[in-house]
Amino acid sequence: MTMASAPGKIILFGEHAVVSGTAALGGAIDLRARAIVQSLPGRILIETDDLSLRGFSLDLSTGEIRSASAAYATRYVSAVLKELGARDVRVMIESDIPPAAGLGSSASIVVATVAALNGHLGLELSQKEIAALSYRIEKEVQKGRGSPMDTALATYGGYQRIADDNQRLDLPPLEMVVGYTRLPHDTFSLVEKVQLLKERYPDLVGPIFQAIGAISERAAPLIREQRLKDLGELMDINHGLLEALGVGSRELSELVYAARNTGGALGAKLTGAGGGGCMIALPGMAGKDALLVALRQARGMAFAAMMGCEGVRLE
Ligand code: MEV
């Protein structure tokens, strides 16, 4: 049996604009997905523990999906198995990361599965190869849309600046409070919606992307020097720009305003693709507990997450 785990992520700044090449900044968090691979002669079996699908099974002789579930995790694991030509295996997925919430659960599943199969099959892929392969697989499942942000963070951990390439940033851990709207979102259609808006209004959306990229570039020194008030201000500005791109929602706004007005947050913004999914808030003087209470009162699911955690590892 081989087990690997990979972290989820928070995008601090730069979502959507990063798809068109401006800078984004994200950190790996202390929620993880785990892939457990075992030999299973003659079959391929994919099981997931708490992701609403169980017992997906592919009959090798006919290629027929015997008990398919619509849940997305299976698509990613199947794509990894296909890419690596893996047969005669059982892959079990467990995850702490809510799916379709903007916390990188699909990338964590892909990276953990690639790493576990790498160990099981003795492929000797380097970390760089795991990141590149995982990005290719995730992008293919998402029909060509998306940035390497999630798979880079799931692989390398810590913090990453993403633009044309990935750059690991050496920054101290940062505690965030995450508010989950309980509404799943579809990253693919939200990315497509924003990219179409850019095609229709290049003169308007282009400068918004540039402003988002500029915010991302300002962030690293603020985290390094612990200038958290300034960092919070940038979060608020970035949220406004994402609203302008049409990826906000009433549910997200309610949590953002609860965090700022009741929870004493230094700043708050949506994180990930938007629509539903999650927002993040930077605790102020009142600390993370005040924020957790404020977000729960506003009907969000709330938890604290530490940014800057370890990347993929064999367990
Ligand atoms: C999704 O987590 C972040 C987006 O920028 C898409 C991407 O970067 O792949 C919306």
Q: Which helix (H) or strand (E) holds 133?
A: helix 127-141
Number of domain units in the chain: 2
The pLDDT value recorded for residue 68 is 31
The CATH number assigned to the domain holding 100 equals 3.30.230.10
3-state secondary structure of 177: strand
Question: 132 a known binding residue?
Answer: no
Same domain, 28 and 77: yes
Same domain, 77 and 224: no
Same domain, 101 and 117: yes
Q: Which of 119, 149, 170 is the last residue of a domain?
A: 170
Same domain, 104 and 216: no
61 CA to middle of ligand 1, Å?
37
CA–CA separation, 216 and 15 (whole Å): 10
Q: Measuring from each residue's beta carbon to the nearest atom of ligand 1, which residues come in under 6 Å?
A: 11, 15-16, 18-19, 102, 146-147, 149-150, 187, 191, 272-273
Q: Specify the ligand 1 atom closest to the Cα of 145.
A: 9
Question: Per the residue annotation, which of 50, 59, 96, 150 is the catalytic one?
Answer: 150
Residue carrying structure tokens 């990347």: 311
248 CA to middle of ligand 1, Å?
14
CA–CA separation, 276 and 294 (whole Å): 18
Q: Specify the ligand 1 atom closest to the Cα of 19.
A: 8
The CATH number assigned to the domain holding 241 equals 3.30.70.890
The pLDDT value recorded for residue 110 is 96
Pocket perturbation via mutation, ligand 1, pick of 10, 150, 196 by most ligand atoms within 8 A of CB: 150
3-state secondary structure of 139: helix
Of all protein residues, whose CA lies closest to atom 8 belonging to ligand 1?
147
The pLDDT value recorded for residue 48 is 75
Same domain, 27 and 118: yes
The pLDDT value recorded for residue 156 is 96
315 in a domain, yes or no? no
314 in a domain, yes or no? no
- Give the tokens for residue 287: 């600390």
Q: What is the ipTM of this complex?
A: 0.97
CA–CA separation, 109 and 50 (whole Å): 13
Written as one letter, the residue type at 256 is V
Q: Which of 116, 146, 170 is the last residue of a domain?
A: 170
- Give the tokens for residue 67: 């008990």
175 CA to middle of ligand 1, Å?
21
What is the rounded (10 degree) CA torsion for 300, 304, 305, 306? 160
The pLDDT value recorded for residue 95 is 83
The yes-or-no answer on residue 150 being catalytic is: yes
- Residue range of the domain that includes 286: 174-307
Q: Which of 121, 138, 170 is the last residue of a domain?
A: 170
Same domain, 77 and 112: yes
Mean pLDDT by 10 residues, the chain (315 residues): 96 95 96 92 78 34 34 84 92 83 89 97 96 93 79 96 88 96 84 95 98 97 97 98 97 98 97 93 96 96 94 96
Written as one letter, the residue type at 110 is V
